Structure 1
Amino acid sequence: MQRELSIQVTPETAVNAEALKYFISREEGIPLAEIRHIEVLKRSIDARQKKVKINLKLEIYINEDFHEREVKLPEYKDVTNAREVIIIGAGPAGLFAALRCIELGVRPIVIERGKDVRARRRDLKRLNIEHVVNEDSNYCFGEGGAGTYSDGKLYTRSKKRGDVNRILELLVGFGATDQILVEAHPHIGTNKLPAIIQDITKTIIEHGGEVLFNSRVVDLLVQDEEIKGVTLMDGRRIGAEKVILATGHSARDIFTLLYNKKIRIEAKPFALGVRVEHPQALIDKIQYHTENRGECLPPSSYSIVKQVEGRGVYSFCMCPGGIIAPCATAPGEIVTNGWSPSKRDQPTANSGIVVEVRPEDYKRFGTTPLAAMYFQQEVEQKAWEAGGRTQTAPAQRLVDFSNGKLSSSLPVTSYKPGIASVELGYVLPDFIYRSLQIGFREFGKSMKGYFTNEAIVHATESRTSSPVRIPRDPATLEHVQIKGLYPCGEGAGYAGGIISAAIDGEKCAEKAVLAMG
């Protein structure tokens, strides 16, 4: 007999199989000898009270043997000679669109401006050490997109958009730990995600698909408002009547191309701010109410939202035990983001702390649909100037930031290109600066100890989401103007992370294949 059970236990019990078995036997009145197996279905941490508890959803096998369920990949077809769909971008939206195309018997041609995973590492090293930004190969562009070297966090609030478990199971099938099916906040880790991405690409190629790296799309071939293919930077033209546009939130050249071709796009509200780094031990102390979290609890995260003078100020992409990375996609700008290795074992925790940006905030850039992008770009360029015109990030201690005081010294940071002491009021727009100054004090009221000069504020955290939306028909997912063009994922304004982008990629692939008849 199988019995599903939801319980709350101490962290020590949760990690000890025998202790958990004894607990269930005692609390549920099940004889110990009859419990053959305990399968953990879901696990989450409840740190709201002084004593931290673990919530577990379990399946108990009573007098019945457990047979482990194998997560299998779909039966991918050989599409070598099949009809073709072009997919621009090899991030999660593009790769999962390609996999779905193969499932449905269509040959994907994936075009990626950046390099493959291995070659990309060398460019990231140059970015961190020599401050050299390769516009086609960086933390945002290349095989796997921004997520490959930026953490692999898999939790999403987009439950209504599609089948989250399907995407998680596909990732397990390609080599991710099956614990991502259990954890409330699943995470793969930057050290493990690249191999998974490589396996996905390998599968696409082995089943007849094509993946072109170092191939930047410079034009969309359109005739009578119907897509006919693309032109690459080297002059090659590739024809197709269905094109999935999955270029990510940082593809400014694509936004500009669409605008110049008079293909409809829209400015989209987004958020912009800074990345804040605390000692991980301090965040653990605040969240777990203890001086030492011990071996049974993972490094703690936090999520916080405040309203400051009617404007949202909130944490974004929080990375426990993580590192701050330079994520510029062009020379002359500073962009920060965060990532964690799978064990989240670094000594610092970092999070984006951002302020909502509204249309009135960038109206001085005119009515162009690129106005929000220009606003975003201007702040990044100011940070670059303030940091010394390298990838050195302008920074300030947190309390000093809120007091408008230049920091006389700065703590050690995980941000490898280095930081420079700068009064960030000269970098950030006034409304963002003021909102953050007040917001940090409010954060400190909710998280006692958060508001401290042990924390460092790094500028800027600006790539929270796309500043442009590419409108599409909600029924067909085609662009509202160009037939056969499918705006997809984060860059089009329809996703916000690995899982939601992957779901959107699959949906666009399904619609494109359906329209092929």
Structure 2
Amino acid sequence: MVKEIQLRIKLQEETKANILEIKAAQWLSIPRKDITSVKVLRKSIDARKPQIYFNYKVAVYVKELAPEQSDYQFNYQDVSNKPEIHIVGFGPAGMYAALRCIELGYKPVVLERGKNVQDRRRDLRQINQFHNVNSDSNYCFGEGGAGTYSDGKLYTRSLKRGDVRRIFENLVYHGATDQILVDAHPHIGTNKLPKIIEKIRENIIQYGGEIHFESRVVDIVTKNNKLQAIQLKDGRELTAKALILATGHSARDIYELLHKKEIALQAKSFAMGVRVEHPQQIIDSIQYHCEGSRHELLPAAAYGWVEQVRERGVYSFCMCPGGFIVPAATANGEVVVNGMSPSKRNNVFANSGIVVEINAQKDLQKYEQYGALKGLQYQKDLERLAFTAGGRTQTAPAQRLTDFIDGKLSPELNPTSYQPGLNSAPLHSLLPKAIGGRLRKGFAQIGAKMHGYNTNEANVIGVESRTSSPVNIPRKENLEHPEIEGLFPCGEGGGYAGGIISAAMDGERCAEAAIQNLKA
């Protein structure tokens, strides 16, 4: 017999030997000796009150053994001589599209503008230390996509878009810890994710797929609204019958290419704002109701909040406990910030994007001349403004948090994890009122709920602008572009995902759709 039950374990009980078996026997009113195994299905922390609990969802095996093997099996096969499906981009959507192609007996040919994870490190060092941005290899572009060196957070609300568990099990298959199958907010860490991505690449190549790095697509050739070929920056032209476009939300040249070729695009709503960095100890004290250091069993505390300010959402985004702020620009002449955490989340700072909803229909009237690319142009303008205010390098403009709320220039700034450095600037007045004014009000509102959050020990750093794509590439019910036969917009770049897991699920769906198209 197997019973799934919910258990609540006090923080003080967590280290007690066999506590889950003891609690499960009590809950089920059976002798403890009848329990052969307790398998943890989900674990979370409830720290809403001073008494902190660990919440468990467990499967209790009574007088029978738990299965040793996962329900998920990945049956990859040799596709060396099978029909080809071309995939542009090797982030989560592109990776999982390629893996799914192999499972279904088709050969993926992946074209990635950036470099592999190891070579990519040198370009990240160029940004952090020398403020030089390689437009093809940076925190957004390269093997694994934007998630590789900016955290690897796996939490998703996209539970209806596909089999979430399958994506997690596949990551474990390729080397991730099975803890991600349990944690309510799973996370791999930027120090561990590259090895997993390397394993995925090796697996794709082992089974006959192709991955071409430093292969930037510069044109998509069509005839009579049907895909014909792909042209690369180095002059090569590849004949293609099915193309999965999984380029991510920062591949602006792809949007501009499609716009120039009059291939249908749509402006979509997105969000922009700043990144806020606190000492981790402050967030711990707020979330765990403690003074001084948090309990040794508790991870670095995270937070999430959302407020409504003048009919727009103001909310936290991509919160990184025990993390770092990184320069996420994809070209020189712009400053963009993002956050990441190592697997142990043991840095002394916590950071989070705090962003404002931008309604594509109501908030961008001054940009109507750019048509479907109006949100993209709005992003560009704010990133250039940040570049100028930061000192025309990758140094970012910043302000102490309460100074930002009060509208005062900060005479000095706090220490930061952001390696290129900070420059004091009046972000409260530099940001458009639609963003800056709402942020100030949003901070004031949340400060009344999270006492201690609004402090001058925190920095506000600009700008957080790459939360999602400001452009949607439309597609039909069969996931094909409505105008171009054989073109399948995919993942965050198409406007169909919002993180690693949802992008991976969309990649699988697009692979299945492209295969069905070839079979038709």
Do Structure 1 and Structure 2 share a fold, with TM-score over 0.5? yes
| Aligned counterpart for 1:382 among listed residues 380, 385, 397 | 385
AA matched with 1:153: K
Q: Distance in 1 between matches of 2:339 and 2:71?
A: 30
Does the 8 A contact of 1:304 with 1:315 survive in 2? yes
Worse-superposed segment, 488-497 or 3-12: 3-12
Does the 8 A contact of 1:490 with 1:501 survive in 2? yes
Q: Distance in 1 between matches of 2:378 and 2:96?
A: 32
- Spell out, residue by residue over 1:373-404, the C-alpha distance to the aligned partner (whole angstroms, 9 max, x if none): 00000000000000000000000000000111
- For residues 29-178 of structure 1, the aligned pairs below 5 Å read 29-70=29-70, 73-178=73-178
**Aligned residue number for residue 436 of structure 1:** 439
- In the TM superposition, residue 435 of structure 1 has moved relative to its aligned partner by 0.4
2:508 is aligned with 1:506: yes
Q: Distance in 1 between matches of 2:246 and 2:516?
A: 19
Instruction: Describe the SS at the equivalent of 1:273.
Output: strand
**Aligned residue number for residue 363 of structure 1:** 365
- Spell out, residue by residue over 1:233-255, the C-alpha distance to the aligned partner (whole angstroms, 9 max, x if none): 01000111110000000000000
Q: Distance in 1 between matches of 2:230 and 2:266?
A: 22
2:277 is aligned with 1:270: no
**Aligned residue number for residue 336 of structure 1:** 337
Worse-superposed segment, 356-365 or 13-22: 13-22
Percent of pairs with identical residues: 56
- Spell out, residue by residue over 1:115-140, the C-alpha distance to the aligned partner (whole angstroms, 9 max, x if none): 00000001001111111100000000
Evaluate the alpha carbon distance shift between residue 104 and residue 27 of structure 1 in structure 2; reply closer, same or farther with a 3 A threshold: closer
Instruction: Describe the SS at the equivalent of 1:458.
Output: strand
Instruction: Describe the SS at the equivalent of 1:337.
Output: strand
2:296 is aligned with 1:295: yes
- In the TM superposition, residue 306 of structure 1 has moved relative to its aligned partner by 0.2
- In the TM superposition, residue 221 of structure 1 has moved relative to its aligned partner by 0.8
Does the 8 A contact of 1:79 with 1:107 survive in 2? yes
Q: Distance in 2 between matches of 1:426 and 1:438?
A: 14
2:479 is aligned with 1:463: no
2:376 is aligned with 1:400: no
Evaluate the alpha carbon distance shift between residue 396 and residue 362 of structure 1 in structure 2; reply closer, same or farther with a 3 A threshold: same
Q: Distance in 1 between matches of 2:485 and 2:468?
A: 26
AA matched with 1:449: G
2:255 is aligned with 1:255: yes
Does the 8 A contact of 2:472 with 2:495 survive in 1? yes
Q: Distance in 1 between matches of 2:429 and 2:5?
A: 55
Instruction: Describe the SS at the equivalent of 2:56.
Output: strand
AA matched with 1:487: P
- For residues 407-422 of structure 1, the aligned pairs below 5 Å read 407-422=410-425
Q: Distance in 1 between matches of 2:428 and 2:445?
A: 19
Q: Distance in 2 between matches of 1:13 and 1:51?
A: 12
Does the 8 A contact of 1:273 with 1:353 survive in 2? yes
Q: Distance in 2 between matches of 1:25 and 1:73?
A: 33
Q: Distance in 2 between matches of 1:455 and 1:95?
A: 37
- In the TM superposition, residue 71 of structure 1 has moved relative to its aligned partner by 6.9
Does the 8 A contact of 1:71 with 1:172 survive in 2? no
Q: Distance in 1 between matches of 2:28 and 2:82?
A: 57
Q: Distance in 1 between matches of 2:506 and 2:131?
A: 34
Does the 8 A contact of 2:74 with 2:103 survive in 1? yes
Does the 8 A contact of 2:407 with 2:429 survive in 1? no
Consecutive unaligned residues of structure 2, counting only runs of 5 or more, are none
Instruction: Describe the SS at the equivalent of 2:452.
Output: coil
2:334 is aligned with 1:345: no
Does the 8 A contact of 2:149 with 2:340 survive in 1? yes
Q: Distance in 1 between matches of 2:201 and 2:270?
A: 31
Does the 8 A contact of 1:51 with 1:289 survive in 2? no
Instruction: Describe the SS at the equivalent of 2:18.
Output: helix
AA matched with 2:347: Q
Q: Distance in 1 between matches of 2:430 and 2:207?
A: 50
Does the 8 A contact of 1:379 with 1:427 survive in 2? no
- For residues 180-195 of structure 1, the aligned pairs below 5 Å read 180-195=180-195
- TM-score normalised by structure 1 residue count: 0.98
Q: Distance in 1 between matches of 2:464 and 2:197?
A: 25
Q: Distance in 2 between matches of 1:176 and 1:123?
A: 25
Q: Distance in 2 between matches of 1:298 and 1:322?
A: 12
- Spell out, residue by residue over 1:388-428, the C-alpha distance to the aligned partner (whole angstroms, 9 max, x if none): 00000000000000111011111100111110111113431
**Aligned residue number for residue 482 of structure 1:** 484
Q: Distance in 2 between matches of 1:115 and 1:15?
A: 44
Q: Distance in 2 between matches of 1:17 and 1:160?
A: 38
Does the 8 A contact of 2:24 with 2:60 survive in 1? no
- TM-score normalised by structure 2 residue count: 0.97
Instruction: Describe the SS at the equivalent of 2:501.
Output: helix
Q: Distance in 2 between matches of 1:57 and 1:15?
A: 17
- For residues 3-42 of structure 1, the aligned pairs below 5 Å read 3-42=3-42
AA matched with 1:47: A
Does the 8 A contact of 1:51 with 1:288 survive in 2? no
**Aligned residue number for residue 309 of structure 2:** 308
CA RMSD of aligned residues (A): 1.3
Q: Distance in 2 between matches of 1:283 and 1:224?
A: 58
- Spell out, residue by residue over 1:410-464, the C-alpha distance to the aligned partner (whole angstroms, 9 max, x if none): 1100111110111113431121110011111111111111111111100000000
Evaluate the alpha carbon distance shift between residue 66 and residue 348 of structure 1 in structure 2; reply closer, same or farther with a 3 A threshold: same
**Aligned residue number for residue 233 of structure 2:** 233
Does the 8 A contact of 1:277 with 1:457 survive in 2? yes
